[in-house]
Amino acid sequence: MKFEVMDRSISRPLPPEELVEAGRQAELFRPAPDVWEWIQSVYLEEGAPLINYDHEHLVAADVAVLWTTAENIRHGRQIAGTAEIPNVKGTRWAKARERDQLMQWFGRIPEFLITLDAVTAAQDEDLNFCALCDHELYHCGLKLDRHGSVKYDRDGNAQFALRGHDVEEHIGVVARYGIVSAGVERLVAAALQTPLIAPAQISIACGNCLRA
Ligand SMILES: [Zn+2]
């Protein structure tokens, strides 16, 4: 599917027909190597149309993408995407089972796993899909020490970690007390400027943010 952003023509990958046809009737998962290739060409590579230097560390990261049709509703909204570090939680067998599944899907254990809802993606506006992918990439962060410096392993490779929200505050607190932190100040400033890419229309329902 082709669309225009900032005078650049972009085409985006759609979920496989098999998943779109199955819809919510079947809880399917399918690897999406084409989506990771698309993400690299749209956000990460030099000259990419929506290049985002905040994700620069992901050029060297091993990221895998998965489509799903499984329903996942939280706070009344279907989750459109999640980002996780796979194979870190669970019992020994649960982890071994997950490793086996990841090997079957990807032939490796990726450093980050992004899961996208195929049903939402098939119907979504192109820009919303772009905003969702950008959002999930922001969760794929670097591990920092308590001084805010990047942590490296013994081989000198930067270590990865899931990254939370930039801003943690209640709307009610801001309404009552104003701009109470530097994070809120930066969010307000960002919201008031013209969007660097273009305005997306629907809010992002992300599984990492919409915690139960
Ligand atoms: Zn999120």
pLDDT digits (tens, 9 = 90+) for 108-141: 999 999 999 999 999 998 999 999 999 999 999 9
Of 80, 83, 84, which Cα lies nearest the Cα of 117? 80
207 CA distance to ligand 1 centroid (A)?
Answer: 6
The Å distance, Cα 206 to ligand 1 centre, comes to 4
Q: Quote the CA–CA distance of 150 and 157 in Å, as a whole number.
A: 10
Find out whether 73 and 30 touch, Cβ atoms under 8 Å. no
pLDDT at 181: 86
Do strands 112-117 and 63-68 pair parallel, antiparallel, or not at all (unpaired)?
A: parallel
Distance 174 CA to ligand 1 centre (A): 21
Distance of CA 83 from the midpoint of ligand 1 (Å):
8
In tens, the pLDDT along 3-54 reads 888 778 888 999 999 999 999 989 999 999 999 999 999 999 999 999 999 9
Q: What is the pLDDT of residue 144?
A: 93
Quote the CA–CA distance of 142 and 164 in Å, as a whole number.
11
d(CA 27, CA 175): 41
| Cα 9 to middle of ligand 1, angstroms | 27
Query: Which residues keep their CB under 5 angstroms from ion ligand 1?
Result: 206, 208-209
This prediction has a pTM of: 0.90
Ligand 1 centroid vs 194 CA: distance in angstroms?
Answer: 22
- pLDDT tens, 143-169? 999 998 999 999 999 999 999 877 878
The share of the chain scoring above pLDDT 70, in percent, equals 97
